[in-house]
Amino acid sequence: MCLLYISFIRNCKKTPMKMIRLNGISFCFFLSLTLFSLRAIAQPRSGDAMLQINPGGHLSQISESVTTADGKFIITTSTDKTICIWDVQQKRIIEQIRGPKSVFNQGKLYSLAISPDYRLLAVGGFLAIGTETDGDLAGQIRIYDFAKRKQVLRFMAHSNVVTSLRFSTDGKYLISGANDSTIASWKFTGTIEKPSFTLVKKVVREDFYVEDIQTLGNAVFVTDMKGVSKYRLPSLELVSSSAQYSSYINYIAINRSINTVAIVGFNQLIILDTALKERQVIELDNYSNRVAISPDGSYIITEGENSTVVLFTKEGNQFVKTVSANFAGGNTMLGMGFMNNSSFYVAGGRANIMQFYRIDGSKNSASIKTDTVVAGAGRAFNAISVHEKKLALRSLEKTEGWFDYSLFPEAGKLMHFSLADSAMYPAKTYEKGTLSVSVNSSGTEMYIYSGGNLTGTVKRDGGSGYGHNAVTITKNNWIISAGSAGFLTLYDSVGTAKASFVGHEGDVMDISESEDGSFLYSTGADQTTRMWDLREVKGESVFKSYDQFDAAWKNFFRDYFPEFDLTKPGEMKKLYEKLLTMGGKENAEYLLQQQQIEPRQNIFIAKNSEWVIWNNKGYFKASPNGASYIGWYVYKGEDQNAEFYTADKLFDNYYNPAIINELALSDESTVAIIGKAGDASKTSIAQQVSNMPVLKLAAPSVSEKAIQKNISLVIDVENKDFISELLLFQNGKRVTVSPDIFRGISLPTITIPVELVTGENTFLVSALNKSRVETTPLKFSIEFGGAKASSSLYILAVGIDKYKNSRYNLNYAKADARGIAAQLSSSSVKIFKNIIVDSLFDENATAENIAAQISRLKNQIKPEDVFLFYYAGHGIMNEPEDGSKADFYLVLHKVTQMQGNDEGLKSNGLSASRLRDLLLEVPAQKQLILFDACNSGGALTTFTRGAAEEAAIFQLARSTGFTVLASTNQEQLAAELKDLKHGIFTYAIINGLKGEADLRKDGKITVKEIELYLNEIIPVLSEKYKGVQQYPQSFSRGMDFPLTITLN
């Protein structure tokens, strides 16, 4: 099974011989067709942008790996269309190259080579971009200046997918192999900046695939079906061939020092000398795709059974199996190599990871130790089910058993799955009425039955998703199949593909239909879970236009079906019906144009609990740092790397939780919901990210300690005239920068005065361009060696039980405010020199008094101090009649009407934006804001009203650098409970401060621990006391710091 996977996964341009008999004449046609080519594909234009996730690793199958000659870097390619560069010492990805790509197979990379001086990088794969079928353009090779990570050349090499590449030992030649049954040698001339590769020789071979090429001196070793052949450079004259073995050969490893060639196949490891004379044949327990030999020739590694890597030790003239170790990525290891004699790596598996190992002990007693596992930042799942828009998910690491987690799509938070809920989650439907489906044992063929009769067969290979990972029959009698490499396809009852769900970039592991049949949910190894609107499926047969045909197809139909003029209406349908009667179903389906359906919603959840939910139009909601996990891929043409901008850089234009919540919870159409937002921007993404300022620190030097408390930061700026706003954060807190600093000054520098605190001062400087897109931040630290200052805790607690309008009265708001202040006063005394509490209750809780109190405190508080603002009372979004942007308001004592009197709310309430301005004047760099604010506007729907509040409070945290913990998202959450004598939110905070939030068990409770504790405990408390799980809102951009000490 895996041999087929490795062979076919590269075969995006499949050319099987199709035999058709017509009027007694038989003829052959090499058909350039896979299921992917049934789609109409437009040529992307420079500036076209698409959203994709950015988890810090490959999203799909790792296809190849090489190590630079100096052992410093490992380079990997993938079917996710990217190149990753890994630092061996740091054991992490240091750069990801995003090359030109389009949808489906276009841009997938299968082969890779690095020159001996590691100055040139060559990649191959399916590099036809924007063609309707693959055509001859598939066989291109891209050349990169490795040091600059810049594409410097693209040239045609083969007429099909390039599956293998290697530079000669001296770097003078590049050898390529492809699925057109050829290998070729190319002479390198020119410079690194302007290279040229001239064809020396191309050889046609009997073997359709070229799985691997290796070089040694002037010799080239090439896989040859069930053996290996040796050629001489540069003429590619055949020198010798090995015997043919029982396994198709996947990979070759060569070691000059011991004159050894190791080849590996489905279940054999074969040891040869460099003349290809057999030395040893080792039968393997399982298939293997890769093999590597240590530099000194002492060890060989290869893939073993049950997701293990196997070590063979050289004893005399033989290699002996010594030990094995688990590989966390699963089966199918397509990257493998030694960094030195005692350390190696393995890459790939379904989880697409990189795992580092070391060999301990001597040859006779060697053992393998796992060093580091590097995986993407996201969580991946292999099973999904939906009940009332709540998802049940099972981790990719588990191969069977119950679900692990529950997920509310609008919340982005995973909860542990309750086995008691298992019965509510339906299994996939393989039989519905007279319709049923089954899949063969290898997973490559799906059979469709109607009334017990076989009506359709759907075969998958590497160009069309390889296999059927999960299948379901929908309520509308469509069959949906999830495949590998992002393929998710809808078929009718005879197996004709009607629609493609375009979004996943890795293996789609499982799918589930909603109870009413309106929505489909999918989850994949690309670390995303996606929601699709099945009501968008048209199901009708739409034929391509003749202009969309590949040239080979045009010639074929003109030569063998001349009676059909395919440029005329109706002729395409007639040809389609004739081909079906002839038994040419695949040929007939080439004429059809599948519907493409985009996700309604996409979800990414990181292992660190950050999350982001987005729609393909760009709107998103996210945890404080979640938006950095998705971004805009901006196509720059076939000869340039794409640009990439994380979504947090476009926060002001696209952060819209109201849209995301409606997409998750409403049954309204996606188009209608998106339409409510209007244009997030009147310009394209490419235009928005143009003229981006670039910041560089000119002074002071960060390598020396500062000796003065007051210094100036000098920033060099490119494109200074395009700055609309400058953002400066010191130790997490926003420092206001006057626009006068960067406007009207001709010098390309900006000077900003700052005051340092004792110890490390961490700065983050960025700018917004004219479209309010944020630049890549400039990060640096400056050490100040002044005398260590003690810090005090200042608390301003506001609680309102009695309102001027008695209908708004509450019971426990004052108790909440007093309780927070009292708990901190007792538990924080060991951290702070002084604890100063100020309170404003009931009639004293006015906007004027809050402003006056903060103004007084700002003259007392020092940068080293901590300031906590607590509010318990009502909170609401205003409804401005003048079309201005709505804001969140603290409903203070004098407010007599929360809705319908916007002027009264503005006059007597306190807006989040006004509170922001007040708090930014407070010198304390560590600030915590707590809102226990309930919303009495119960008639307003949660997914619109709550989302607006969420956005306003998130903006408060983002624009100040403070941590904001709030209960404002749902009215039920903030409701007061008689049993607790507090609101749930405040009750949980008080208990957390008493010790329950000491998650690290180190005797300290920090702001981050309180945040994590609230996210865990409030859903439990709300379900216990209110019968439904609710979630707090937490936003933090600033520093974490301790609030209490629990140890005596």
What number is the average pLDDT over the span 538-554?
Answer: 82
Q: How far apart are CA 434 and CA 438, in angstroms?
A: 14
- Are residues 252 and 230 in contact, defined by beta-carbon separation less than 8 angstroms? no
Least confident piece of the model among 351-355, 646-650, 709-713, 737-741 = 737-741
Q: What does the mean pLDDT of the chain come to?
A: 87
Q: How far apart are CA 954 and CA 626, in angstroms?
A: 12
Share of the chain above pLDDT 90, in %: 61
Pairing of strands 963-966, 926-934: parallel
Return the closest-CA partner of residue 1015 out of 1034, 996, 1001, 1035. Answer: 1034
Grade residue 978 by pLDDT with cuts at 50, 70 and 90: low
Structure tokens at 448: 């469709």
- The total of other beta-carbon atoms located within 10 Å of residue 278's CB is 12
Backbone angles phi, psi at 814, to 5 degrees: -65, -40
Residues in the chain: 1048
Would you state the pLDDT for residue 394? 95
pLDDT digits (tens, 9 = 90+) for 76-111: 999 999 999 999 999 999 999 999 988 778 899 999
- Are residues 56 and 608 in contact, defined by beta-carbon separation less than 8 angstroms? no
Would you state the pLDDT for residue 1034? 79
pTM summary value = 0.85
CATH superfamily, domain 694-784, is Immunoglobulins (2.60.40.10)
Would you state the pLDDT for residue 556? 84
Going from N- to C-terminal start, the domains of the chain cover 247-277+285-375, 381-542+592-597, 613-688, 694-784, 793-975+1033-1040
For residue 785, pLDDT over 70 is answered with: yes
What number is the average pLDDT over the span 530-559?
Answer: 87
Terminal Cα-to-Cα distance of the chain (whole angstroms): 62
Would you state the pLDDT for residue 225? 86
For residue 20, pLDDT over 60 is answered with: no
For residue 18, pLDDT over 50 is answered with: no
Say what the alpha-carbon torsion angle 46, 47, 48, 52 is, to the nearest 10 degrees. 120
Fold of 381-542+592-597: Hemopexin (2.110.10)
Return the closest-CA partner of residue 945 out of 883, 863, 886. Answer: 886
Would you state the pLDDT for residue 774? 93
Structure tokens at 297: 């020739």
Secondary-structure class of domain 247-277+285-375 per CATH: mainly beta
For residue 237, pLDDT over 90 is answered with: yes
Structure tokens at 119: 């100055």
What number is the average pLDDT over the span 660-689?
Answer: 85
What number is the average pLDDT over the span 466-474?
Answer: 94
CATH for the 793-975+1033-1040 domain, from 3.40.50.1460, 3.20.20.140, 3.30.565.10, 3.90.850.10: 3.40.50.1460
Grade residue 291 by pLDDT with cuts at 50, 70 and 90: very high
pLDDT digits (tens, 9 = 90+) for 182-191: 999 999 999 9
Q: How far apart are CA 963 and CA 961, in angstroms?
A: 7
Grade residue 804 by pLDDT with cuts at 50, 70 and 90: very high
What number is the average pLDDT over the span 819-832?
Answer: 92
Least confident piece of the model among 135-149, 208-222, 928-942 = 928-942
For residue 534, pLDDT over 60 is answered with: yes
- Are residues 97 and 152 in contact, defined by beta-carbon separation less than 8 angstroms? no
For the chain, counts of helices (H) and of strands (E): 16, 71
Would you state the pLDDT for residue 386? 94
Sign of the Cα torsion 398, 400, 405, 409 reads positive
For residue 500, pLDDT over 90 is answered with: yes
- Cα–Cα distances in angstroms (integers) from residue 213 to residues 229, 335, 590, 665, 851, in the given order: 10, 14, 34, 53, 73
Report DSSP state, residue 417: P
- Cα–Cα distances in angstroms (integers) from residue 331 to residues 56, 172, 308, 483, in the given order: 21, 36, 8, 17
Q: How far apart are CA 245 and CA 270, in angstroms?
A: 9
Residue with tokens 């469709």: 448
3-state secondary structure of 328: coil
Dmax of the chain from CA atoms?
A: 100
Q: How far apart are CA 989 and CA 997, in angstroms?
A: 9
Share of the chain above pLDDT 70, in %: 91
